[in-house]
C-alpha cells in the first residue's frame, strides 16, 4: 500500500509527486506521466482563458464531426493535440485513447505514433492513457466552466507490433490494452477550468486537489484528502430528458423535489452541463449527479472509458458511489473505445437511496 507523503496545504504538485515516487518506487513512471499531464493542463487552462482574445473560439473551420457525431470546436482539436503531445513524448505510454481520436493511437518507445507502414518493432510503453481533452466544450465559448478528464492504466503486456502482423491485428491487440475496466485504473483525475484551475486526482490512495497558483505557475495542494459528504441536498441532472427516464429515477427525483426523500428535506437542482464542473461541486458539497439512460439513449451520453470510469474511481476513492443505476461503473469492461454508459454518482447515501428505487421497481 502507499506510503503517504506530506499533505500540508501549499506543497506543490511537483514536490508531492516527487515525494510520492520516492516513497513508492513503483510510481516513478506515473510521476513523469503526471508531470506531462500537469504541464498540458496549465497550457489548456491558458488556451481556454484566452480563447476569445486569441480567436480560437467556435467550431473547427473544416466543420469536422468527431466519431461521437459531435461538431468539433477549435478547442476540442487544439487541446487534444496539447495533451496527446505532452503524453506521447514521455515515452512511457504504449497507447493513448481520446474522445477526439477515432481509434487509439499506438506509440513507439520514443513516443512517435505508429502507423501501418512504419517499421517499428515494439513499444515498451508501460502505460495506457485515456482522456477527454476538453469536457463540456459546448460551454466553452460562453466562459462556462470546462475541464479535462484523464485515466492511466498499465499496459497488461508489451504492445508488440510484429512485422508479420498486419496493422489491424497489432492495433486490435493494443486496442485490447485500452479496453480495461475502471478497477484496473492506476490513476485518474480531472482538471477544472473555472474561477480557479484545479487538478483533482487519485492513485488509489485517496483524492487530493491542487489549485494553479498563476503567480508562480505551480499547482499547490489546496484540498488534501477530499471526502465527499455522505449525503447532500443537490441533485444534478438534465431534466429536459425526464420524460424519457426510467420510472425508478423519475420517482426518486419526484421524492427529492417534494422533500419526501430519506432526508426529509427538499433538494435544490444545480446543472452546469460540464461533467467536470458538476462532479467537482458534487465531490465538495455532496449530492447526486447523473446522466442516466433514457428511452432515446439506452446507454446515456457519457463515455465509459474516459469520462464515467475515471470519475467513478475518484468518487469511490472520496467515499461515494458511482452506478449505472444498479451496477457499479468501475466493474464494466468497455467493448468499444467510445462506448456510452448510464452514469449516476455522488454521495454514498444519496446514490444508495436512488438504487433502492431501481431495486424495488424493476
Write phi, then psi, for 218 (nearest 5 degrees): -125, 145
Integer Cα distance of 122 and 204 in angstroms = 30
Place of cell 495506457: 128
DSSP code for 230:
S
The answer to the question of residue 4 lying near ligand AHG (CB under 6 A) is no
Binding-site member from 31, 132, 316, 349 for ligand AHG (CB under 6 A): 132
The answer to the question of residue 100 lying near ligand AHG (CB under 6 A) is no
Residue 302 is placed in which grid cell? 457519457
- Which of the residues 271 through 330 are near Mn ion (CB under 5 A)? none
Q: Minimum CB separation from Mn ion for residue 314, in Å?
A: 14
Complex with Mn ion: residue 147 or 248, whichever CB lies closer: 147
For 138: left if phi > 0, alpha if psi spans -120 to 50, otherwise beta; the answer is: alpha
Complex with ligand AHG: residue 88 or 146, whichever CB lies closer: 146
Q: Which does 301 bind (CB under 5 to 8 A by kind): ligand AHG, Mn ion, none?
A: ligand AHG
Complex with ligand AHG: residue 153 or 190, whichever CB lies closer: 190
The answer to the question of residue 137 lying near ligand AHG (CB under 6 A) is yes
DSSP code for 326:
S
Binding track, positions 147-186, relative to ligand AHG; x by CB under 6 A: ----------------------------------------
Binding track, positions 255-274, relative to ligand AHG; x by CB under 6 A: ------------------xx
Binding track, positions 38-77, relative to Mn ion; x by CB under 5 A: --------------------------------x-------
Number of residues that bind ligand AHG (CB under 6 A): 13
Integer Cα distance of 22 and 34 in angstroms = 14
The answer to the question of residue 99 lying near ligand AHG (CB under 6 A) is yes
Give which of 232, 64, 228, 201 is closest to 131, Cα–Cα.
Answer: 201
Q: Minimum CB separation from Mn ion for residue 105, in Å?
A: 16
- Which of the residues 203 through 242 are near ligand AHG (CB under 6 A)? 238
- Is the Cβ–Cβ distance between 351 and 320 less than 8 Å? yes
- Is the Cβ–Cβ distance between 329 and 323 less than 8 Å? yes
Residues 6+ apart with CB under 8 A from 352: 321
Residue 181 is placed in which grid cell? 475496466
Write phi, then psi, for 351 (nearest 5 degrees): -70, -35
- Is the Cβ–Cβ distance between 358 and 325 less than 8 Å? yes
The answer to the question of residue 248 lying near ligand AHG (CB under 6 A) is no
Q: Minimum CB separation from ligand AHG for residue 149, in Å?
A: 8
Task: List for the chain the helix, strand, coil content (%; round to 5).
Answer: 35, 25, 40
The answer to the question of residue 294 lying near ligand AHG (CB under 6 A) is no
β-sheet with 343-346: strand ranges across: 268-269, 234-236, 288-291, 343-346, 321-323
Q: Which does 206 bind (CB under 5 to 8 A by kind): Mn ion, ligand AHG, none?
A: none
Binding-site member from 275, 309, 345, 351 for ligand AHG (CB under 6 A): 275
The answer to the question of residue 72 lying near ligand AHG (CB under 6 A) is no
Q: Which residues contact ligand AHG by CB under 6 A?
A: 70, 99, 132, 135-138, 238, 273-275, 291, 301
Amino acid at each position: 500500500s502507499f506510503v503517504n507523503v506530506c499533505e500540508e496545504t501549499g506543497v506543490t504538485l511537483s514536490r508531492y509527486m516527487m515525494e510520492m515516487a520516492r516513497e513508492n518506487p513503483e510510481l516513478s513512471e506515473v510521476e513523469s506521466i503526471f508531470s506531462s499531464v500537469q504541464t498540458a493542463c496549465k497550457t489548456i487552462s491558458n488556451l481556454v482563458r484566452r480563447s476569445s482574445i486569441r480567436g480560437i473560439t467556435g467550431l473547427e473551420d473544416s466543420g469536422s464531426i468527431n466519431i461521437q457525431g459531435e461538431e468539433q470546436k477549435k478547442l476540442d482539436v487544439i487541446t487534444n493535440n496539447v495533451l496527446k503531445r505532452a503524453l506521447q513524448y514521455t515515452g512511457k505510454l504504449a497507447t493513448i485513447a481520446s474522445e477526439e481520436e477515432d481509434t487509439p493511437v499506438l506509440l513507439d518507445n520514443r513516443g512517435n505514433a505508429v502507423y501501418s507502414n512504419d517499421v517499428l518493432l515494439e513499444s515498451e510503453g508501460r502505460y495506457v492513457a485515456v482522456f477527454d481533452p476538453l469536457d463540456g466544450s459546448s460551454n466553452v465559448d460562453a466562459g462556462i466552466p470546462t475541464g479535462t478528464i484523464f485515466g492511466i492504466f498499465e499496459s497488461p503486456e508489451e504492445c508488440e507490433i510484429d512485422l508479420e502482423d498486419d496493422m489491424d491485428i497489432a492495433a486490435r491487440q493494443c486496442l485490447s490494452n485500452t479496453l480495461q475496466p475502471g478497477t484496473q485504473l492506476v490513476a485518474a483525475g480531472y482538471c477544472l477550468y473555472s474561477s480557479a484551475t484545479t487538478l483533482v486526482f487519485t492513485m488509489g490512495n485517496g483524492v487530493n486537489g491542487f489549485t494553479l497558483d498563476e503567480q508562480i505557475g505551480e499547482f499547490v495542494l489546496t484540498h488534501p484528502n477530499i471526502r465527499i459528504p455522505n449525503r447532500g441536498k443537490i441533485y444534478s441532472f438534465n431534466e429536459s430528458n425526464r420524460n424519457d427516464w426510467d420510472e425508478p429515477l423519475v420517482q426518486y427525483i419526484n421524492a427529492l423535489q417534494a422533500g419526501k426523500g430519506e432526508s426529509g428535506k427538499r433538494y435544490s437542482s444545480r446543472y452546469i452541463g460540464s461533467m467536470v464542473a458538476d462532479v467537482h461541486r458534487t465531490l465538495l458539497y455532496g449530492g447526486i449527479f447523473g446522466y442516466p439512460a433514457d428511452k432515446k439513449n439506452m446507454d446515456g451520453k457519457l463515455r465509459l472509458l474516459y469520462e464515467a470510469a475515471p470519475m467513478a474511481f475518484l468518487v469511490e476513492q472520496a467515499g461515494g458511489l458511482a452506478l449505472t443505476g444498479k451496477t457499479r461503473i468501475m466493474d464494466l469492461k468497455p467493448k468499444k473505445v467510445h462506448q456510452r454508459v448510464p452514469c449516476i454518482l455522488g454521495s454514498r447515501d444519496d446514490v444508495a437511496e436512488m438504487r433502492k428505487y431501481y431495486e424495488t421497481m424493476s
